[in-house]
Structures are given as structure tokens and as C-alpha cells.
Structure 1
Amino acid sequence: MKLYTKTGDGGQTGLYGADRVSKAHPRVEAYGTVDELNSLLGLARAHNTRSHKPDAAIDADLEYLQNALFDLGADLATRSDSPYSKNVARIDEQDVLRLEGLIDGYQEGVPELKQFIHPGGTPAAASLQVARSVARRAEREVIRLMEIEEVNLQAQVYLNRVSDLLFVMARASNARAGIGEELWHVKKRR
């Protein structure tokens, strides 16, 4: 089977359920950004596993998250009125609660945050911060999509928690590696 189908050469793509839409459609933008986020998690995992002290817990949680992001992408790629909708595992409140548990667990291992910090530190932590910012963009794109079409409301909530999780995972990655955080120094008013 060839990888290329040529069906998208005219700027259209198929949603799950055979609907054809523009590749610039807000639904495609939303699940495309989730795909970009998933790729960045792969990069963060590569940095983590190739570091001098790989963190097995972070790797396992990122692997879980990568699988969940495929589910989220399928959720976003399938309209609720599609006859194929019943075949798609939708993101739900249990998925959100699982992320909240992970956030709470990672937060226990990092110092209390009293001001903004610069993204950075270890390559794994810096990659997680980039992924966090892409998760925020994906959330904004889902919100834009929600303004024109019906979307699973938990998808937006889930992405909000994903960005929180990635932020605290980046902090934990630095803390476990013994890397301090650089604080934002507020410019003095003149």
C-alpha cells in the first residue's frame, strides 16, 4: 500500500465518517495541533530517555499521554452526528480526573511557585515547555471550533489540564535533575 493517496492534493481532507473539508477548517486545525503536540511529546521522551538520568515515571506518563492524544485527535476528527461517532472513544470526565491526579502527584515533588519562571532547564524540560505552549494553542483552536460546531466539551477541558500537566512535568524534570529554575525578573517601572 502506498503512503500517498493524492486525495488531499486539492486542499481537502476527510474527517472520520467521510466528510470532506478544507485542510484549513477549524476542526482540522484543532486535531492537527493535537498531532503536533503528540510529536513534541515524542521529542520530550527522546530527550528524557537519552539524558544522563532518564526518568522512567515521566516516560511512562508521557507514553500514556501520547496514546490519549490519539484518542483526542479521533474525537476531534469525528463529528458527533457522524454515523461513525459510535466507533470513537470520546474524551470524558474520567480522562480529565486522571490528568488531575498526575498533576497533583508531580506538584508534590516541586517547590511552591511564587512567581513566573523561564521555560528551560534540561532538554526534556525545555521540550515539555514547548509542548505546553502547543497544548494551549490546541485548546484555543478547540474553543474556536466550538464557536461554529458542536464539539465534545471535555476535549477543551482535557487540553487545559494537559498544558498544566506538561508545565509541572517540566518543573519535576528539572527538580529531579538538580536544575534550578530561572525566575522572571519584573522590569522596574521608571
Structure 2
Amino acid sequence: MKIYTRTGDTGGTALFGGGRVSKDHPRVEAYGDVDELNAALGLARAIELMPRVDEVLVPVQRDLFAIGALLATPDHAKMREQLQKARIDDERIAELERAIDDCEQELEPLRSFILPGGTPKSGALHVARTICRRAERRVVTLAQEVELPALVIQYLNRLSDLLFMLARVANRRAGAGEVTW
């Protein structure tokens, strides 16, 4: 099978379960930003191995792949299947919250805004956090047009908080200080 199909040469793309839309359709924008976030997390993982941080990110990347598939699925029955297959549920969101809580125990309380940066690992996690926020905005926009599971927005919201905390943890573990605003 060749990687190129030529079916998108006129600016359209196929959706899971059938149908075609323009490549700038809100659905494509949403799952494209989720895909970009996943790639940014892959880059963050590739920069300086940090076992506990990276162990949190691998399942998140799997979640994001499943969320992207869900967003690319216009059929509601298939969308529910994707959500169940992805294991994106209240318990998964609680797992993200527990990971945030674990980070908080390792860090000094935040007393002011901090500027993104520090180590390359932390910087990559901050970039991923901002991509996550954009993906969340795109999913909110899409949810105004089509019915989407609320858990997708909740997941992205919680994930951006987790990425912020992981960026702080990466700096702390590397001995890099935080620059306040």
C-alpha cells in the first residue's frame, strides 16, 4: 500500500465511517490539533529521558490517538465505540488528576505566574501544553456544531494542567529554576 492516495489533492479528506469534508473543516482542525499535540508529546519524550514523566506521557499519547479517531468519526454509534475502546472515561480523567496531585507533592506551591522555559524537556512540555489548549478550543468549536462526548473536552482540559505540572517537574528534577512573571 502506498502512502499517497491522491484523494486529497483537491482539498478534501475522508472521515472514519464514510463521508468527505474539506481539509479546513472544524472536525479536521480538531483532530489535526490533537495529532499535533501527540507529535509534540513524542518530541518531549525524546528529549532527555525522565522515567516517571515519560511513563505518564505514553498512555496519554495512546489516549490522544483514540481521541483523534473519535473526532474523525461522524457516526455517533461508532463514536461511542471509539470512546469505549479508548477508555476515556471518568476514571481516566481521575488518573490524570492523580498524576497532577503527584506532581504538586514534588513542587513548591505556585505563588506567581511562571514563564515557559527552563530545560529543553520542560520547554517541549510547555509547547505541548499550548497545543493542548488550542486542541481544546478546536474541540469546543466542533462541539457547537456536532454532538461530542463531554469527556473529550474534560480530558483535554485536565491534560493541559498535567502538562503544565510535568513541565515544572522536569525543571525541578534538572535543577533549573523557574522564571516568574
Q: Please give the TM-score of this superposition, normalised by the length of structure 1.
A: 0.90
Determine which structure has the larger helix proportion and give its number. 2
8 Å contact kept, 1:48–1:59: no
Could you say which residue in structure 1 is the equivalent of 2:135? Answer: 138
Could you say which residue in structure 2 is the equivalent of 1:59? Answer: 54
Could you say which residue in structure 1 is the equivalent of 2:71? Answer: 76
Could you say which residue in structure 1 is the equivalent of 2:172? Answer: 175
Could you say which residue in structure 1 is the equivalent of 2:11? Answer: 11
Alignment of 1:42-121 (within 5 A): 42-49=42-49, 55-81=50-76, 84-85=78-79, 87-90=81-84, 91-121=88-118
Instruction: After superposition, give the CA deviation of every residue in 1:107-153 in whole Å (9 maximum; x if it has no partner).
Output: 11111001100000110000000000000000000111111111111
8 Å contact kept, 2:99–2:162: yes
Measure how far apart 1:86 and its partner are: 5.2
- Alpha-carbon distance in structure 2 between the residues aligned to 1:140 and 1:93: 21
Residue 5 of structure 2 aligns to a residue whose secondary structure is coil
8 Å contact kept, 1:37–1:131: yes
8 Å contact kept, 2:30–2:71: yes
Q: Give the residue type in structure 1 aligned to 2:65.
A: F
Q: What is the percent sequence identity of the aligned residues?
A: 49
- Alpha-carbon distance in structure 2 between the residues aligned to 1:157 and 1:2: 37
Residue 116 of structure 1 aligns to a residue whose secondary structure is coil
8 Å contact kept, 1:80–1:151: no
Structure possessing the higher radius of gyration over alpha carbons: 1
Measure how far apart 1:77 and its partner are: 1.2
Q: 1:137 to 1:13 in 2, by over 3 A?
A: same
Could you say which residue in structure 2 is the equivalent of 1:188? Answer: none
> Unpaired runs of 5+ in structure 2?
none
Measure how far apart 1:12 and its partner are: 1.0
8 Å contact kept, 1:132–1:163: yes
Q: Please give the TM-score of this superposition, normalised by the length of structure 2.
A: 0.94
- Aligned residues, how many? 178
Residue 21 of structure 1 aligns to a residue whose secondary structure is strand
CA RMSD of aligned residues (A): 1.2
Q: 1:24 to 1:77 in 2, by over 3 A?
A: same
- Alpha-carbon distance in structure 1 between the residues aligned to 2:136 and 2:75: 19
